[in-house]
Amino acid sequence: MRRVALALAAAASAVALPAAASAADITGVWATGTEGGRVEIYRCGKALCGRIVDASRLRANPDLRDVRNSDAKLRQRKLKGLVVLNGFTGGPREWKGGPVYDPETGDGAPKGQLKLLPNGKLELKGCVAFFCRTKIWSRAG
């Protein structure tokens, strides 16, 4: 009886591991590598989204606005909590979606791609037509 229980426990843990290595792997807070930025990737319905949760400039002034936005109507939005990734679906290692917004430049891309790299880092690519920009993010610790 004990062997059966051990076998069942081993089988259950083997089944649980692949499930844990799904889209949930990229949810959480990521360091953007620029200006001490941190973006939280979270579930938004059946997709994944990302919002700004911290940056060195935000620690100095939590009320910072999206002043670099190319759309003058959006320049009064607060940076803290601003959604910069929207509607990413796929997995378990690559997700596609968009739009992607970069508050450092005020530019956005209608399409983006997230890719979980073998080293645990996250590659973010935003593209407008044939022009793409890539950034590598690390898990925030």
The alpha-helical segments, DSSP class H, found in the chain are 2-20, 56-60
CATH architecture of structural domain 23-139: Beta Barrel (2.40)
Average pLDDT value for residue range 122-138: 92
Q: Would residue 33 be called left, alpha or beta, if left means φ above 0 and alpha means ψ between -120 and 50 degrees?
A: left
Q: Which helix (H) or strand (E) holds 84?
A: strand 83-90
DSSP-assigned beta bridge partners for residue 95: 90, 114
pLDDT tens per residue across span 33-55: 888 899 999 999 999 999 999 99
Q: Indicate the pTM of the whole model.
A: 0.80
Q: Indicate the SS3 state at residue 26.
A: helix
Output the six-digit token pair for 93.
């290692």
